[in-house]
């Protein structure tokens, strides 16, 4: 199935089974804003819990906070967001459509990569087992031509971004003959910077109102609480502060479903270290975060690092963890060595000291920070994409299933009386009433057992327990496993332990390094 097709199916599956809805749908929707439905919220809460536990539960030196969305506006001046949290925008004069100049160029580069890959794939087919891909890439005139053209554009693009040279960005678009996908023309405006922060007013009267921002990242809430946490928690460096919370960005190119939203959620952890040790910690967190992603079991080949071409002025190292979405490898998490930039800026703008007295070194310093920052919604999308499957059954029927890691599944156990009568429903309810305190169960008695299995496959329920006439005699039920469809008979008294062992968060957490 074409990847575009898979993506469309994912979006409609998300809606059909109550994972994600367009916000304000009955009013024709609000662009790039989404709501999570009855299944989506459970999956999202489980995902957040997995991240939180992997940070706060498994690390004695990481604690959590929950800071407010509104913060003093000077914070955003200090952090650089008021002056520099911009996207370079360009308009097509014919279609009147607005684009991010950097995205237009990145898409063009991705097309060139595709062309090269297609040439290589064709040759691999032609030459069969004797094919030497490395040599082919280095010597085939067509591939070499594409590659050098790509490298030249990439170098100009990276330099223009680094130098903040908007005229050169436009020139790259013109020279590459990039056309507007709507009008098909190359009639472009100048490139302009556009600030991504939403603002509103706080205060009762317009004269006394203060302009405040909806935070564009949760990280600043951690920085401004650094000293509160360090002192009240008696934290010793190195230590980390974790937070999960909403962030808001007025994204111009908002597309690809929940990949790029205007209101989204982040899970961020700022790790405070002595100056000079930050690059070692950066490598440490790179390793741990990649391990966390891979623990979900979608395959190591689905993830890769992408080191930044353009380092933000405050960073001395940065990488993204990318996941292979149906529309290509895309960033789900950023890992950044942010130096002492943020704390120093807040010291400067607030006039308060944010230093740490290191008893081992017997001196005070402003700590350096390594940050891990992951988008909940992008992670959610990667999990849906990784677990969505269509299978042809032996009887020719098709089943759609979500092979979710059991610990993340919205429902762990479906409790299904074979029929409603003969006391089976009552027995099933009795089991449900006992187990519902331990994990998420769902009772379902409507439709044939086959249809009920399909419904639970579609929401990723890892186990179904069927209560039949025999159950009334031997107190045993049939457990059906989602992925293999295998069935086994187990005692009701063992059910709780079996399901807990296979679905508890510990099963994922145990895979991680200490
Ligand atoms: N504090 C650092 C920071 O915010 P970022 O790379 O801008 O870094 C971190 O964002 C993560 O937040 C990204 O890797 C992505 O997963 C998520 N994210 C950023 N913008 C987003 C958007 N518009 N919609 C959904 N997720 C977004």
Residues 6+ away with beta carbon under 8 Å from 422: 469, 472
Question: Which of 268, 281, 266, 267 is CA-nearest to residue 339?
Answer: 281
What's the helix, strand, coil split of the chain in %, to 5? 45, 25, 35
Does residue 74 carry a pLDDT above 80? Answer: yes
With a 6 Å cutoff on the Cβ, whether 249 touches ligand 1 is yes
Does residue 206 carry a pLDDT above 80? Answer: no
User: Ligand 1, closest atom to CA 266?
Assistant: 12
Q: How far is the CA of 222 from the centre of ligand 1 (A)?
A: 16
Q: Whose C-alpha lies nearest to ligand 1, atom 20?
A: 260
Q: How far is the CA of 168 from the centre of ligand 1 (A)?
A: 26
Contact 387, 298 (CB under 8 A): yes
How far is Cα 427 from Cα 430, in angstroms, rounded to an integer? 5
With a 6 Å cutoff on the Cβ, whether 217 touches ligand 1 is yes
Q: How far is the CA of 240 from the centre of ligand 1 (A)?
A: 19
With a 6 Å cutoff on the Cβ, whether 216 touches ligand 1 is no
Q: Whose C-alpha lies nearest to ligand 1, atom 5?
A: 334
What is the CATH number assigned to the segment(s) 1-69+215-391?
3.30.930.10
Angle at 264 between CA 260 and CA 265, to 5 degrees: 130
Residues 6+ away with beta carbon under 8 Å from 458: 13, 16, 17, 400, 401, 402
494-512 mean pLDDT: 96
Does residue 93 carry a pLDDT above 80? Answer: yes
Q: How far is the CA of 147 from the centre of ligand 1 (A)?
A: 30
Burial of 103 (0-12, 13-18, 19+ CB in 10 A): middle
Burial of 484 (0-12, 13-18, 19+ CB in 10 A): exposed
Instruction: List Cα–Cα distances, 332 to 45, 324, 374, in angstroms.
Output: 17, 10, 6
Residue 21 token pair: 């809805």
If pLDDT is split at 50, 70 and 90, which confidence band does 514 have? Answer: low
If pLDDT is split at 50, 70 and 90, which confidence band does 208 have? Answer: confident
Q: How far is the CA of 62 from the centre of ligand 1 (A)?
A: 21
Pocket test for ligand 1, best of 265, 310, 378, 383 (most atoms within 8 A of CB): 378
Q: State which fold the 86-193 domain adopts.
A: Herpes Virus-1 (3.30.40)
| pLDDT tens digits, 277-303 | 999 999 999 999 999 999 999 999 999
What's the confidence (pLDDT) of residue 108? 94
Q: Whose C-alpha lies nearest to ligand 1, atom 9?
A: 373
- CATH fourth-level superfamily of 393-512: Anticodon-binding domain (3.40.50.800)
Domains of the chain, residue spans: 1-69+215-391, 86-193, 393-512
Strands (E), 326-397: 328-337, 356-358, 363-365, 368-375, 388-392
What is the β-pairing status of strands 441-443 and 413-417?
parallel
Residue 245 forms beta bridges with which residues? 266
| pLDDT tens digits, 364-386 | 999 999 999 999 999 999 999 99
SS3 208: coil
Distance of CA 459 to the CA centre of its chain: 19
What's the confidence (pLDDT) of residue 232? 97
Pocket test for ligand 1, best of 334, 342, 381 (most atoms within 8 A of CB): 334
């Amino acid at each position: 199935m074409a990847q575009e097709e898979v993506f469309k199916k994912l979006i409609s599956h998300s809606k059909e089974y109550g994972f994600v809805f367009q916000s304000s749908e009955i009013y024709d929707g609000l662009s790039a804003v989404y709501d999570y439905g009855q299944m989506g919220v459970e999956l999202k809460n489980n995902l957040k819990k997995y991240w939180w536990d992997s940070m706060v539960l498994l690390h004695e030196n990481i604690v959590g906070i929950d800071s407010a969305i509104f913060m003093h506006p000077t914070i955003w001046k200090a952090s650089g967001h008021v002056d520099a949290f911009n996207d370079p925008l360009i308009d097509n004069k014919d279609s009147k459509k607005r684009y991010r100049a950097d995205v237009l160029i990145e898409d063009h580069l991705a097309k060139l990569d595709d062309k090269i890959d297609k040439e290589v794939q064709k040759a691999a087919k032609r030459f069969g087992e004797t094919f030497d891909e490395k040599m082919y890439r280095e010597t085939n005139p067509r591939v070499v031509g594409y590659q050098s053209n790509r490298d030249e554009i990439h170098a100009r693009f990276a330099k223009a971004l680094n130098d903040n040279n908007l005229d050169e960005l436009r020139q790259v678009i013109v020279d590459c003959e990039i056309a507007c996908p709507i009008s098909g023309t190359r009639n472009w405006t100048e490139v302009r910077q556009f600030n991504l922060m939403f603002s509103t007013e706080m205060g009762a009267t317009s004269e006394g109102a203060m302009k405040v921002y909806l935070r564009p990242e949760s990280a600043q809430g951690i920085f401004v609480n650094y000293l509160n946490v360090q002192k009240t928690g008696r934290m010793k460096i190195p230590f980390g502060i974790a937070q999960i919370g909403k962030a808001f960005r007025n994204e111009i190119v908002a597309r690809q479903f929940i990949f790029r939203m205007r209101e989204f959620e982040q899970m961020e952890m700022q790790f405070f270290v002595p100056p000079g040790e930050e690059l070692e910690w950066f490598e440490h967190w790179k390793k741990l975060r990649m391990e966390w992603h891979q623990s979900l079991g979608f395959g190591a080949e689905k993830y890769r690092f992408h080191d930044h071409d353009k380092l933000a002025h405050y960073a001395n190292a940065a990488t993204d963890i990318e996941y292979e979405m149906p529309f290509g490898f895309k960033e789900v998490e950023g890992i950044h060595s942010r130096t002492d930039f943020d704390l120093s800026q807040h010291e400067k703008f607030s006039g308060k000291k944010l230093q740490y007295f290191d008893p081992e070194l017997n001196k005070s310093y402003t700590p350096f920070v390594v940050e891990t920052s992951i988008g909940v919604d992008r992670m959610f999308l990667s999990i849906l994409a990784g677990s969505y499957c269509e299978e042809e059954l032996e009887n020719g029927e098709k089943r759609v299933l979500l092979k979710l890691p059991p610990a993340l599944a919205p429902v762990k156990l479906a409790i299904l009386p074979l029929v409603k009568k003969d006391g089976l429903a009552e027995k099933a309810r009795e089991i449900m009433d006992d187990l519902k305190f331990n994990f998420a169960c769902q009772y379902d008695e409507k439709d044939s057992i086959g249809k009920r299995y399909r419904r639970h496959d579609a929401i990723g329920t890892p186990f179904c327990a069927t209560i039949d006439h025999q159950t009334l005699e031997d107190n045993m039920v049939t457990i059906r496993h989602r992925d293999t469809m295998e069935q086994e008979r187990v005692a009701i008294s063992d059910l709780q332990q079996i399901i807990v062992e296979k679905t508890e968060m510990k099963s994922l957490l145990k895979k991680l390094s200490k």
